[in-house]
Amino acid sequence: MSTEVIKDIIHFIREVYNTPSGFISLHEPRFTGNEKKYLLECIDSTMVSSVGKFVDRFEADVAGYTGAKYAVATVNGTAALHIALMMAGVERDDEVIVQPVTFIATLNAISYIGAHSVFIDVDRDTMSLSPDKLEDFLKKNTEIRDGKCLNKTTKRAIKAVVPMHTFGLPARIEQIASICSKYHVTLIEDAAESIGSYYKGKHTGTFGLMGTLSFNGNKTITTGGGGMIITDDEALAKKIKHITTTAKILHKWEYKHDMIGYNYRLPNLNAALGCAQMESLPGYIENKRKLAKKYEEFFSKTGVKFITELSDCRSNYWLNAIVLDDLNQRNSFLTITNENGIMTRPIWELMPRLEMFKNCQKENLENAEWLADRVVNIPSSVIL
């Protein structure tokens, strides 16, 4: 790719965002609705901590939007993953299968429990966990004993699989769910980036026992910080709400707790922001899909591949991504765009390359490594 082509890309991005000069962020929040109104209402009520009507409403709004029967708000997406893994029965020295292309929160949540990560490769078109690679690994390396999936190499139990819908593009989640059922492992979807994304008409995060969402400041909608666990299991939802509220037994004045709990509930103040953001979400999704279409049409003329959704999916296009020729071209593109005020970034450092996880079991990760050398995210904020 020549410098002139990169300059054409920079010009196009500035034109799309109507920003002829200055800095263009990768993804920044938009507050175009009732955010200030609800925040002031929450402040005036003095109910700004983890109890209040906005928390209840936000949970109901997310459950209704995703089609999940229950939703429990948490202080962030990492906390949601931590609790989801615990509720799935993952314990110290168990194993959890993950993809190498993900944000470190996925691995941190597993590590909090003292469990071990096993890395399986992704598909190039979704950048998410490959069902074919997953089944191949389980077929060759595990055995089912007393209803448990055991790793023949490490002798540990594989308790869960946590695919992540990368950049909002749905993984082949239906196939993954079928494989998990076949091998007696729990499916927990890391849907942190994919609110508003659907696979065959069903919202991401609703194919497994639980799904987790994130509402960090750079997500499609935000509560400043914040996360959510969604599930169709009523008993599980009640236990999640209990354990994330320090396992306090409900009483008007007594403070009694019946198990080790976590102070992981989302504050009412953050939930107020979330309620306003949920009202704007459908419009944001349509806006982002229009942006992705503009990018797709533009890049088709440059010879640069723009990553699009699978034919049976509907993506929120949280972060738009292009595929360059090699590592050198990727680095050149990152340098020139960022030096010219256009924020772009590569895929996160692959998790097995980090010091903390370099000794984890892993299969051939050729697709993840190929993508890491070539994929770049480009500005993806909702256009006002």
- pLDDT at residue 50 tops 90: no
According to the model, what pLDDT value does residue 2 have? 86
CA dihedral 161, 165, 167, 168 (to 10 degrees): -160
According to the model, what pLDDT value does residue 230 have? 98
Q: What is the pLDDT of residues 125-182, one digit of tens each?
A: 999 999 999 999 999 999 999 999 999 999 999 999 999 999 999 999 999 999 999 9
Residue 53: pLDDT band (50, 70, 90) is: very high
Distance CA 74, CA 226 (A): 6
Q: What is the rounded average pLDDT for all residues in the chain?
A: 97
> In the chain, what are the domains?
3-31+281-348 (no CATH), 35-278 (3.40.640.10)
Distance CA 341, CA 21 (A): 8
